Amino acid sequence: MKKEIYTFKEELSNAVNQDNVKVWLNKKEGKRIDYLFKIGEEQFTDSRVIGENKDFLLLGQNIDDELKEELSLLFNNYFNSDKK
Amino acid sequence: MSKDFIDDGKLEEILAEAKPTEEKIEQIINKSLNKERLSLEETATLLQADKPEWIERIFKGAEELKNKVYGDRIVLFAPLYVGNKCINNCEYCGFKASNTEIDRCTLTIKELQEEVKAMEKKGQKRSILVYGESPDYDADFIAKTVEAVYDTREDKGEIRRVNINAAPLDVEGYKKLKEVGIGTYQIFQETYHHETYQKVHHSGPKKDFEWRVTGLDRAMEAGIDDVGIGVLFGLYDWKYEVMGLLEHTIHLEEKYNVGPHTISFPRLKEASNVSIDDKHFVNDQELKRIIAILRLAVPYTGLILTAREDAKLRREAIKLGVSQIDAGTKIEINGYADADDEQDINREQFMIGDSRSLDDVIYELLSDGYIPSFCTACYRLGRTGEHFMEFAIPGFIKRYCGPNALLTFKEYLEDYASKKTKEVGEKLIQEKLAEIEDEKTKEKIEAKLGEIEDEKRDLYF
């Protein structure tokens, strides 16, 4: 999984404008959401769920519907292969 | 495998060589006000600043920093003692193995759930589970109890964050706890002075200084980057112990890029069947100095002061830098579910000094202008570990911590507060809203406060 996460991060970095968007991947640990990595800087806007499966959660800030769809697809490619 | 990183000689030498002057103290306080962690040498200078006017300056600096970083929020929690079986013989502890006068027991899952329900009925949202050191309390047992706490809900009540205070584990053990979503894993070294450590820990696994001091290294290696450290002040020289806490912080920062989430500083107290030399006991003024210097030394680390201390001292300590306190605390096994309010020293690890109810503590905090917070948002949105360093970004507290404190406090007012607390609390929320300059932020908070009035729960930014 480490390799997938690494390549997912690479692709995510290319997909977003890091100046006005923040996206971060988390691992679900019981009630806790554990940070794994982030792309971009804090935007101080509400957090939006971009993608989710039983183990991982991708959150983002300043994500419009179009970008959400694009990033969602990317997330599903890596973490929800049955939802491609 | 991590090695013991505490060099007594080095810490003693730095302390001995520190020569405070007014100018040096001013420079150090200014560095701290810029939210930079202090070095061992700088901290030693503050520790050796014994003149009354210097101490006063340090107190003022600590108050200013506290306001800058934490604002007017105080995080509230309550401890829950799960079991007091213990195979260690620590001279200062009522739970030591050789104490045959204490009632030994471990909560069953059903009893644990009753305790949790009793806490939830009072409005608690954050708890720390406390365990003695016993083969009965292994990682599997602790994980099972954490899951039971998270699964227990009473009406609108729920515990949203479970921290742990237990013996050091191996890496595999910590991994099991990570999987069930614990908050902070707390291990107190008690004393960083090797000779004293050996003197007061007579037998049991806790006798091994290195195993304990590297306990949080193993937690980090297992992926738990949210850890708490602490000292039991009164065992050895308080100035040395502050140096030990800072050395531990620096070790974790250098090795894992993240320091401790919290520091605790309990003082020795009366306990069942315990008699201990009072040579190093810490008086109130010294405790206030410890708090102020720690506040300045580690600007972003939460400082916890428990109900061991009395209400008056806790009130003063909050001003100087404490960011988290427990309230409505019961430290007897089954203490929350039992209706009896009297403390029984044969069922407790020590006597507590502040036995007021959660509502009474909240009322006092409100009277002093503080907003009680039950917030758990960072830990629910992945704002932890390395990411938590964004806390340093200007605006983080204003946009997240302040509003989230208001939201969780509003829940408390709606569901649990007494009439007088509700009146004062609602007024304070309005005052805090009026202070918010950014209209958009204010509107968003007002909208969420409205949702809470409409029975929605667990809202956060």
What's the pLDDT score for residue B130?
97
* Residue A59: closest C-alpha in chain B: B381
Question: Could you tell me how far CA B348 lies from the centroid of its own chain?
Answer: 19
* Residue B151: closest C-alpha in chain A: A31
Nearest to B150 among A28, A30, A57 (CB): A30
Would you place residue B291 in the very low, low, confident or very high pLDDT band (cuts 50, 70, 90)?
very high
Nearest to B383 among A35, A36, A44 (CB): A35
Tell if the CB–CB gap between A57 and B382 is shorter than 8 Å: yes
A26 vs B contacts (CB less than 8 Å):
381-382
Nearest 5 degrees, angle CA B102-CA B108-CA B114?
Answer: 100
Please state, in angstroms and rounded to a whole number, the distance separating the CA atoms of residues B338 and B98.
27
Nearest to B178 among A29, A38, A46 (CB): A29
B182 vs A contacts (CB less than 8 Å):
30, 32
For residue A84, is pLDDT > 60? Answer: no
Would you place residue B51 in the very low, low, confident or very high pLDDT band (cuts 50, 70, 90)?
very high
Site from B116, B129, B179, B388 to mutate, A interface, most A CB atoms within 10 angstroms: B179
What's the pLDDT score for residue B113?
98
Please state, in angstroms and rounded to a whole number, the distance separating the CA atoms of residues B416 and B422.
9
What's the pLDDT score for residue A81?
72
What's the pLDDT score for residue B276?
78
Tell if the CB–CB gap between A32 and B182 is shorter than 8 Å: yes
What's the pLDDT score for residue B340?
64
* Position with higher pLDDT, B242 vs B385: B242
CB contact at 8 A, B258 and B278: no
- Which percentage of chain B shows pLDDT scores above 70? 94
A30 vs B contacts (CB less than 8 Å):
146-147, 150, 179-182
What's the pLDDT score for residue A42?
87
Q: Which of B92-106, B333-347, B440-454 has the highest mean predicted lDDT (pLDDT)?
A: B440-454
Q: Which of A75-84, B150-159, B275-284 has the highest mean predicted lDDT (pLDDT)?
A: B150-159
What's the pLDDT score for residue B388?
66
Q: What is the reported pTM?
A: 0.94
Nearest to A26 among B180, B382, B390 (CB): B382
Would you place residue B347 in the very low, low, confident or very high pLDDT band (cuts 50, 70, 90)?
low
Nearest to A31 among B160, B387, B399 (CB): B160
pLDDT digits (tens, 9 = 90+) for B60-119: 999 999 999 999 999 999 999 999 999 999 999 989 999 998 889 999 999 999 999 999
What's the pLDDT score for residue B230?
98
For residue B386, is pLDDT > 80? Answer: no
What's the pLDDT score for residue B292?
98
Would you place residue B135 in the very low, low, confident or very high pLDDT band (cuts 50, 70, 90)?
very high
Q: Considering only residues 23 to 62 of chain A, which have any Cβ-Cβ distance to chain B shorter than 8 Å?
A: 24, 26, 28-36, 38, 42, 44, 46-47, 57, 59
Question: Could you tell me how far CA B117 lies from the centroid of its own chain?
Answer: 22
What's the pLDDT score for residue A30?
87
- Which percentage of chain B shows pLDDT scores above 90? 85
Which tokens is B95 given?
């739970």
pLDDT digits (tens, 9 = 90+) for B193-220: 999 999 999 999 999 999 999 999 999 9
Q: From the CB of residue B394, how many other CB atoms can be counted at a distance below 10 Å?
A: 8
Which tokens is B89 given?
């013989």
What's the pLDDT score for residue B374?
98
Q: Which of B26-40, B329-343, B397-411 has the highest mean predicted lDDT (pLDDT)?
A: B26-40
A33 vs B contacts (CB less than 8 Å):
379-382
Identify the bridge partners of residue A57 per DSSP, sorted by sequence position.
A26, A52
What's the pLDDT score for residue B387?
67
What's the pLDDT score for residue B391?
66
Would you place residue B342 in the very low, low, confident or very high pLDDT band (cuts 50, 70, 90)?
low
**Residue B192 CB contacts under 8 Å (≥ 6 apart), including other chains:** B6, B8, B11, B213, B231, B236, B240, B241, B243, B244, B245, B247, B248
**Mean residue pLDDT across chain B:** 94
Tell if the CB–CB gap between B181 and A35 is shorter than 8 Å: no
Classify strands A32-39 and B227-231 as parallel, antiparallel or unpaired.
unpaired
Give the gap in angstroms from C-alpha A26 to the nearest C-alpha of chain B.
Answer: 6
Would you place residue B411 in the very low, low, confident or very high pLDDT band (cuts 50, 70, 90)?
very high
Give the gap in angstroms from C-alpha A10 to the nearest C-alpha of chain B.
Answer: 18
Q: Name the amino acid, one letter, at B233.
A: F
Compute the 3-state secondary structure of chain A and give helix, strand, coil in percent, each to the nearest 5: 40, 30, 30
What's the pLDDT score for residue A2?
79
Q: Which of B280, B335, B277 is nearest to B122 (CA)?
A: B335
